[in-house]
Amino acid sequence: MMTIDFKAEVEKRRQDMLADLFSLLEINSERDDSKADKDHPFGPGPVKALEKFLEIAERDGYPTTNVDNYAGHFTFGQGEEELGIFAHMDVVPAGSGWDTDPYSPVIKDGKLYARGSSDDKGPTMACYYGLKIIKELGLPVSKRVRFVVGTDEESGWGDMDYYFEHVGLKKPDFGFSPDAEFPIINGEKGNVTEYLHFAGENKGAVRLHRFSGGLRENMVPESATALISGQLPADLIDQLASFAEAHQVKFTYAEQADGQVEITVVGKSAHGASPQAGVNGATYLARFLKDLDFAGPAKDYLQIAGDVLFQDHEGQTLGVAHEDEKMGALSMNAGVFRFDQAAEDNTIALNFRYPKGTNPEQIKAVLETLPVLKVSLSQHAQEPHYVPLEDPLVATLLEVYERQTGLEGHEQVIGGGTFGRLLKRGVAYGAMFPGWTDTMHQANEFADLEDLFRAAAIYAEAIYELIK
């Protein structure tokens, strides 16, 4: 039996892999609905990145398919069974606070800085090169591989809904997504966003004209801004300064010509699946404002944001907390805040990652007891997903990981949602290693270069073990 040194094979391809990765990272593939049209379902950026990826695959001799710029794939090998690999080319908005240009990749101290370096262009390229090694060495395989890349993983998965509806192929039999961490993610919590709706009226001596914070439901809002007026305390700025100092947040304060005051509080962004890793600028701002003399819906809005949602990462205060022995605890991210006194419908978007044993309707029933107009659910909810340890897919992937790293493999359940859950027998696998610094969805996102090369070798052996 021949043994292949996959690490040595990756070594030979380091420069090529980096060049291909850079060509993807240089594309700003944020979703942009303002530029969306028939040919660019999520805006031009994601399409450009998809086309670039398929161009790389074509160059390497794979047959490719682009499904109306929603998603695309290439295939390799022959056989009855098919392994699906699911990655994505879209990225969350770069946001502020970067030390370098997020779309001009830079290597510093062995780290590759760029939006998408760790989520998910870096891991995608590592996995792509894993398969490329198998192809270039001409290793014998008995199954097919379909490598799929999407363009809307970070928003609503509209890419995959469309892809499976229009591609004209049955789903792969089993597979993985290189979009999380090693040793494996074989369980994912359910994921739903629930919206609290409020009227825009003010009734107190202080008025809330506007309150806004948050870019995406799956990101902790880094900052939030409010515009207020009315009978404000004379020492408002001093109160704000001591609040900011006590809570270790930054702020700006600006008096407008018309007697209105604009206040911004700046915290720290993080992935919505780990809200405790961020500092939610919007709930901190609401906490500061809530005791001023507001009344009516404006007061309800600030009270809920600043009292109930403040640091309530597991929904304890809210009354929706739930824990499952295998899947862990529910988590909640208050992700997007929009209030305008002129609007009839103002919202707070709450993103829940929930384990088995609770569901969106149960959560909604509790939310409806709050002083809100109504509660609505996102159309795209995902149920909890789990592939058991004894499944050959999970067992094989863990064996390869253990063999290559010398570390012990174990199962993991996360709150994040990956394309692994698209298949009944689907998991997430890499590319981050234990002890990694998680910078996904944050400013100065980076991937450790050596880790990406290590991951490529693991992917090469893992794919080969699954299809040989």
The CATH number for 185's domain is: 3.40.630.10
Residue 461 in contact with residue 404, Cβ under 8 Å? yes
Same domain, 345 and 275: yes
Same domain, 129 and 56: yes
Examine the domain organization and report whether 17 and 151 are in the same domain.
yes
Please indicate, yes or no, whether residues 136 and 197 belong to a single structural domain of this protein: no
| Cβ contact 187:411 at 8 Å | yes
Which of 330, 353, 377 is the C-terminal boundary of a domain? 377
Angle at 24 between CA 18 and CA 26, to 5 degrees: 100
pLDDT of the residue at 326: 83
Please name every residue paired with 207 in a beta bridge, in sequence order, or none if there are none: 229
Q: Is residue 305 part of a domain?
A: yes
Q: Are residues 260 and 270 in the same domain?
A: yes
Same domain, 366 and 412: no
Q: Which residues of the chain have pLDDT under 70?
A: 1-2
Does residue 204 sit in the same domain as residue 280? yes
Question: Does residue 264 belong to any structural domain of this protein?
Answer: yes
Total number of domains constituting the chain: 2
Q: Would residue 1 count as lying in a domain?
A: no
Single-letter code of the amino acid located at 34:
S
Classify residue 118: in a domain, yes or no: yes
Identify whether 58 is a catalytic site residue: no
* Same domain (yes/no): 399, 315: no
pTM of the full structure = 0.77
Q: What's the domain range around 14?
A: 6-189+384-467
- 204 and 299 together in one domain: yes
Choosing from 377, 397, 418, the residue where a domain stops is 377
> What CATH number has the domain bearing residue 317?
3.30.70.360
pLDDT of residue 156: 83
Tokens of 127: 């996995």
pLDDT of residue 103: 98
Q: Please give the Cα distance from 274 to 279 (Å, whole number).
A: 11
Residues 84 and 154 in one domain: yes
* Three-state SS sequence of 84-111: EEEEECCECCCCCCCCCCCCCCEEECCE
Tell me whether residue 5 is one of the annotated catalytic residues. Answer: no
Q: Which residue of the set 119, 153, 181, 300 is catalytic?
A: 153
In a domain, 344, yes or no: yes
Shared domain for 15 and 141, answered yes or no, is yes
* Cβ-based neighbour number of residue 402 at 10 Å: 14
- One domain, residues 201 and 330: yes
Would 49 be classed as within a structural domain? yes
Name the catalytic one among 9, 30, 90, 312.
90
Please give the pLDDT value at position 360: 97
DSSP strand pairing (71-76 vs 64-67)? antiparallel
Asked which of 377, 409, 437 is the last residue of a domain, the reply is: 377
